[in-house]
Amino acid sequence: MSGDRVVFRMAPWVIGLILVSAVAFLWFAWYLFFYGDSYLLRYVSAAVAAFALAATLDALASRIVLEPETLLVISLFRRRAFARSDFEGAKVDGGAVVLKRRDGAWLVLPNTGNNAVAMRNTIHAWIKRDTRGQT
């Protein structure tokens, strides 16, 4: 893991479930738009369609990236960066990977649908790896 990036993306089954849900929401929005009996239903259908598309795009864009000295948590509208030196350990709590910060706080990583224990092991090894002697 020296020098390369490790990327955790949404699991394929999560993407598939979100796509199926988005199709259902879009069908519902289409039905309300064309068969609704008021303009309010048309506005609601447009909001439902926008929500379905935004959720799908967010799932496709979301990822957790381990760079040599930085942890990036990326979603459609937000990008957060954390230094590797800010963390002292990782664990799985309730199915989510949480990182213990040196200041005593915890960072809960977004659930990607992947194996949380394997993800925790990779992140814990990244936190604990020794960079002395490397250029």
Which helix (H) or strand (E) segment is 17 a member of? helix 12-35
The predicted pLDDT at position 35 comes to 87
The predicted pLDDT at position 129 comes to 83
- When pLDDT is averaged across residues 12-31 and rounded to a whole number, the result is 94
Distance CA 111, CA 17 (A): 14
pLDDT at 1 over 80: no
Close Cβ partners of 41 (under 8 Å, ≥ 6 residues apart): 32, 33
Spans of all domains in the chain: 1-130
- When pLDDT is averaged across residues 35-40 and rounded to a whole number, the result is 87
Distance CA 71, CA 114 (A): 18
- Write the pLDDT tens digit of every residue in 87-115: 999 999 988 999 999 999 999 999 999 89
The predicted pLDDT at position 132 comes to 54
Put the strands of the sheet holding 63-66 in their side by side order: 6-9, 63-66, 70-74, 79-83
Instruction: Tell me which CATH code domain 1-130 carries.
Output: 2.30.29.30
DSSP character string of 63-107: EEEE-SSEEEEE-SS-EEEEEGGGEEEEEEETTEEEEEETTS-EE
Identify any residues that bridge with 72 across adjacent strands, giving them in sequence order: 65, 81
- When pLDDT is averaged across residues 54-76 and rounded to a whole number, the result is 94
DSSP code of residue 132: T
